[in-house]
């Protein structure tokens, strides 16, 4: 009986091990068989590729054109080739809209928190530009912006606010079949892994501001082809950018804020210098000036 017990135990262990192994293989096969976003190939590092402008909040500090506004995206897109960082938040009635702040005061004619309003109630308010000028533009639905991006072949980098579950945003992207024009922004390795698990077909903006963060990413289950490396809002040594690119990953520098101001005081020459350092994508509040300095035209 004792020997029979051990035989049964070994058989059970082997059966469980085989089941786990089959599950792992099945998961890997499923990931391999998915249709990956076209952006994974488009954003693969290529030393001969032209630099890319990422327009922060869809366009800031543009007179009569508010941030996170569909009309602003259209206006900028008519002038320069760019990709657009947008902020996705949620209303009281669970509609996904574009808004950066939790409250309405800074960018609209409304007051109070976004979450306290239904989408229909929000339509009473107008968007304001960064100078306080009221426009006739409204807070847009995320689905409207997705449709526009698809129609115009424009890439959106989607920043998901804390009030919104990543799953909701990914579902909205898939519902509009907008996987080929959207990438998801993540801020740490935990968020990146969660987003990859939910949508292994999408390109991810991942935080790689230093050697430690880059090492975490390289040793994660996320393929490097799914990564676009946000290197922060401060300059790193040239060798760091080269190391990121050696893995086939493009680099993003957040010039928004201090670096944009620095460039403005120096006649925009720094944009060229930063390009030579190894910056592939410029996330900026000054898209027109950056485009001119880098000679990026339609």
Strands 251-254 and 203-207, by their bridges, are: unpaired
Q: What percent of the chain has pLDDT over 70?
A: 89
Residue 31: pLDDT band by 50, 70, 90 thresholds? Answer: low
| pLDDT at residue 12 in the model | 41
Q: Name which of 43, 40, 157 is nearest 98 in CA terms.
A: 157
Q: Name which of 143, 154, 140 is nearest 100 in CA terms.
A: 140
pLDDT value at 24 more than 60 = no
Give, in degrees to the nearest 5, the angle at Cα 185 between 138 and 30.
120
Question: Taking the domains of the chain in order of start, what are their residue ranges?
Answer: 39-293
pLDDT value at 239 more than 70 = yes
Residue 95: CA count within 13 A, CB half-sphere: 21
- Mean pLDDT value of segment 109-113: 98
For residue 278, what are the CA distances in angstroms to 42, 142, 180?
A: 18, 33, 26
CATH 3.40.710.10 corresponds to the domain 39-293: no
Higher pLDDT, 179 or 34: 179
pLDDT value at 166 more than 70 = yes
Strands 96-98 and 83-90, by their bridges, are: antiparallel
122, two tokens: 């929000």
Q: Are 159 and 142 in contact (CB under 8 A)?
A: no
Query: What confidence tens digit (pLDDT) does each residue in 194-218 have?
Result: 999 999 999 999 999 999 999 999 9
Q: Name which of 151, 158, 154, 165 is nearest 198 in CA terms.
A: 165
| pLDDT at residue 270 in the model | 98
Least confident of 21-35, 157-171, 184-198, 273-287: 21-35
pLDDT value at 115 more than 70 = yes
Distance CA 166, CA 175 (A): 14
Q: Which residue has the tokens 């996904």?
A: 96
> Residue 94: is it exposed, middle or buried by C-beta count within 10 angstroms (0-12/13-18/19+)?
exposed
Q: Which helix (H) or strand (E) holds 151?
A: helix 142-152
- Mean pLDDT value of segment 242-252: 98
Query: What confidence tens digit (pLDDT) does each residue in 52-104 have?
Result: 999 999 999 999 999 999 999 999 999 999 999 999 999 999 999 999 999 99
| pLDDT at residue 33 in the model | 74
Report how far Cα 95 is from the mean position of its chain's Cα atoms. Answer: 20
Distance CA 231, CA 253 (A): 6
First to last CA, the chain: 81
| pLDDT at residue 32 in the model | 61
Q: Name which of 165, 183, 170 is nearest 84 in CA terms.
A: 183
pLDDT value at 1 more than 60 = no
What are the φ/ψ torsions at residue 74 (nearest 5 degrees)? -65, -40
Q: Are 281 and 251 in contact (CB under 8 A)?
A: yes
The mean pLDDT of the chain is 92
pLDDT value at 4 more than 70 = no
Residue 3: pLDDT band by 50, 70, 90 thresholds? Answer: very low
| pLDDT at residue 9 in the model | 39
**Radius of gyration for the alpha carbons in the chain, expressed in angstroms and rounded:** 22
pLDDT value at 22 more than 80 = no
């Amino acid at each position: 009986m004792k020997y029979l017990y051990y035989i049964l135990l070994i058989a059970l262990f082997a059966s469980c091990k085989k089941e786990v192994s089959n599950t792992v293989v099945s998961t890997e096969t499923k990931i391999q068989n998915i249709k990956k976003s076209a952006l994974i190939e488009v954003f693969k590092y290529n030393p001969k590729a032209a630099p890319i402008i990422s327009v922060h909040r869809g366009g800031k500090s543009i007179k009569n054109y508010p941030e996170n506004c569909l009309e602003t995206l259209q206006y900028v897109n008519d002038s320069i080739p760019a990709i657009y960082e947008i902020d996705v938040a949620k209303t009281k009635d669970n509609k996904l809209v574009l808004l950066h702040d939790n409250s309405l005061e800074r960018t609209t004619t409304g007051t109070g928190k976004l979450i306290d309003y239904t989408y229909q109630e929000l339509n009473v308010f107008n968007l304001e530009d960064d100078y306080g000028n009221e426009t006739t533009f409204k807070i847009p639905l995320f689905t409207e912006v997705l449709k526009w991006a698809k129609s115009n072949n424009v890439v959106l980098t989607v920043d998901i606010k804390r009030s919104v579950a990543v799953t909701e945003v990914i579902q909205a992207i898939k519902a509009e079949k907008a996987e080929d024009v959207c990438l998801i922004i993540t801020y740490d390795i935990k968020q990146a892994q969660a987003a990859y698990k939910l949508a292994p077909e999408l390109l991810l903006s991942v935080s790689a501001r230093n050697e430690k963060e880059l090492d975490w990413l390289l040793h994660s289950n996320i393929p490097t082809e799914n990564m676009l490396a946000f290197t922060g809002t401060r300059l790193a040594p040239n060798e760091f950018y080269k190391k990121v690119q050696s893995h086939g990953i493009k680099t993003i520098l957040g010039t928004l804020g201090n670096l944009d101001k620095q460039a403005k005081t120096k006649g925009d020459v720094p944009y060229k210098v930063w390009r030579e350092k190894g910056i592939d994508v410029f996330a900026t509040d000054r898209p027109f000036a950056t485009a001119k300095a880098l000679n990026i035209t339609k």
